[in-house]
């Protein structure tokens, strides 16, 4: 029996939620498996997108033409790149992320507000799983009898604690939604607030300054959208205070009482240093100066062979150095148009207490936080962060209130379907080619370079060694 469009959307949501949970909540999770999970999610999004049609499209004509221009410039840049296959792989990854965002938007557009509750429930469950893992690891650390407690060992599911921080930047704003909804019972509200406090405790323990910067920017942004924006900020500040108190009690008072020394203390990261980002940004600027129009090619910061990182930890410099200044300008214009359109809806509905309007506020806060963190971190590079960015953008697209319905353009829809099919096909090919040899790839890199892994597409993301 054929499933209805809404049922197919529900299946896609369940599969995507399971892949997200497996990517961050299992012992074998990490960068490479998260990339495989992202490709699998993209494949599911493609299948869902091809199986359903809609009378209205998700973006207006200027946005569609802007995306077409960005893809066209990316094709030219990839053709002229030093390693075209890797450049096309990055281009395919961008198209796949956009396809995933549109699939989430289509699922929500074909459903109803019950899917919003499913989304928040999934976020709460994922955060609850990670909180239990953190607290269990903490109990084991305090009872192990070891003289030193390394707080970094309490974080699991990510190959780097900064990637954990990126995940928290997306989820911290969404966790506050049940605290804003009027018909939530007190026990549920108290449980959600307790979870938010523990989630902030983990964020403080991780010491990711980009998360603090992103959440600070989100707080400044939402405070201008009426009383609910201010209530969102108040709940977050209350949870931050509770998280700080818990951190002080656990890692200062209790450790001192037990005679345990703490390594990687969060206070040690409260600095204004760039953490080696200065040379990366200088290298990106040199790449822009060398090839300002088309860049050196998508993913080709990883082809520079520097000893620090395979990406510059700055989204604008990364796109400009790899894709070129014109493409960067197009991306910036589309981002500003989309952001301004969302701001207008938030401003018009600032006094509305409907759950869908409150969710839009929380999603916007998550997007602002992630975009801000992307200015100092690899939010646009890491697979789990790319998935969450696609989810947030897609859901915001679905909740957007258009003044006039947008009629579907069949030529554009067919062109996008073909582009998505080719992109997913290339990513599947790369995964089949590389996954069986990822261990050897890492060992070869470690033997040649003698430095730490530099994640990009894979955990060992440097491509400079592949063609010398």
Give 253's contacts (C-beta < 8 A, 6+ positions apart). none
What count of residues does the chain have? 468
Instruction: Find tokens 């094709």 and name the residue.
Output: 75
Are 250 and 138 a contacting pair, CB within 8 Å? yes
Greatest alpha-carbon span in the chain: 69
User: What are 363's two structure tokens?
Assistant: 């999603």
User: What are 12's two structure tokens?
Assistant: 């896609």
> How many angstroms separate the Cα of 66 from the Cα of each of 22, 328, 420?
35, 11, 16
The answer to pTM > 0.85 is yes
Q: What's the CA gap between 169 and 367, in Å, rounded? A: 9
Q: What's the CA gap between 351 and 449, in Å, rounded? A: 57
Are 172 and 215 a contacting pair, CB within 8 Å? yes
User: What are 230's two structure tokens?
Assistant: 């201010």
3-state secondary structure of 205: helix
User: What are 50's two structure tokens?
Assistant: 């091809």
CA 339 to chain centre: 17
Give 143's contacts (C-beta < 8 A, 6+ positions apart). none
How does pLDDT run along the chain (468 residues), one tens digit per residue?
466 666 666 677 777 777 777 767 665 568 888 999 999 999 988 888 887 766 567 788 888 889 999 999 999 999 999 999 999 999 999 999 999 999 999 888 888 888 899 999 999 999 999 999 999 988 998 888 788 888 888 888 787 888 888 999 999 999 999 999 988 889 999 999 999 999 999 999 987 888 999 999 999 999 999 899 999 999 999 999 999 999 999 988 998 888 888 887 776 666 666 677 888 999 999 999 999 999 999 999 999 878 888 899 999 999 999 999 999 999 999 999 999 999 999 998 888 888 999 999 999 999 999 999 999 998 999 999 999 999 999 999 999 877 666 666 667 778 888 999 999 999 999 999 999 988 888 887 776 655 678 899 998 888 886 654
Q: Could you tell me which of 184, 223, 234 has the C-alpha nearest to residue 361? A: 223
């Amino acid at each position: 029996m054929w499933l209805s469009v809404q049922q197919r959307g529900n299946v896609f949501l369940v599969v995507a939620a399971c892949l997200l949970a497996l990517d961050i909540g299992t012992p074998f999770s990490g960068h490479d498996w998260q990339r495989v999970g992202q490709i699998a999610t993209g494949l599911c999004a493609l299948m869902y997108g091809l199986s359903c049609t809609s009378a209205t499209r998700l973006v207006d004509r200027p946005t569609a033409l802007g995306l077409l221009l960005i893809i066209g410039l990316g094709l030219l840049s990839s053709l002229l790149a030093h390693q075209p296959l890797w450049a096309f792989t990055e281009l395919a990854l961008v198209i796949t992320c956009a396809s995933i965002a549109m699939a989430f938007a289509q699922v929500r557009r074909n459903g109803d507000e019950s899917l919003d509750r499913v989304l928040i429930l999934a976020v709460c469950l994922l955060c609850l799983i990670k909180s239990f893992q953190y607290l269990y690891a903490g109990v084991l650390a305090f009872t192990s009898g070891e003289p030193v407690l390394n707080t970094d060992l309490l974080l699991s599911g990510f190959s780097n604690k900064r990637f954990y921080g990126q995940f928290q930047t997306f989820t911290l704003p969404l966790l506050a939604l049940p605290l804003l909804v009027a018909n939530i019972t007190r026990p549920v509200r108290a449980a959600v607030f307790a979870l938010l406090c523990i989630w902030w405790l983990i964020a403080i323990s991780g010491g990711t300054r980009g998360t603090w910067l992103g959440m600070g920017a989100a707080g400044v942004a939402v405070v201008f959208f009426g009383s609910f924006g201010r209530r969102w900020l108040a709940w977050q500040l209350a949870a931050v205070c509770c998280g700080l108190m818990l951190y002080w009690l656990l890692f200062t008072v209790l450790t001192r009482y037990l005679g345990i020394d703490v390594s990687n203390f969060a206070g040690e990261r409260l600095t204004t240093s760039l953490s080696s980002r200065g040379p990366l940004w200088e290298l990106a600027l040199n790449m822009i100066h060398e090839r300002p129009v088309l860049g050196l090619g998508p993913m080709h910061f990883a082809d520079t062979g520097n000893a620090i990182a395979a990406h510059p930890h700055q989204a604008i410099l990364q796109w400009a150095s790899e894709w070129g200044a014109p493409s960067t300008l197009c991306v910036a214009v589309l981002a500003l148009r989309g952001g301004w359109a969302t701001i207008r809806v938030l401003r018009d509905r600032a006094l509305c207490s409907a759950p869908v309007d409150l969710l839009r506020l929380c999603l916007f806060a998550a997007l602002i936080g992630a975009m801000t963190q992307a200015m100092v971190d690899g939010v646009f590079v890491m697979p789990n962060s790319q998935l969450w960015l696609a989810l947030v953008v897609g859901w915001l697209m679905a909740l957007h209130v258009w003044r006039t319905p947008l009629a579907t353009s069949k030529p554009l829809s067919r062109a996008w379907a073909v582009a998505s099919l080719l992109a997913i096909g290339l990513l599947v090919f790369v995964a089949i080619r590389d996954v069986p040899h990822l261990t050897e790839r890492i060992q070869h890199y470690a033997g040649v370079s003698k430095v730490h892994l530099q994640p990009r597409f894979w955990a060992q993301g440097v491509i400079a060694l592949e063609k010398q």
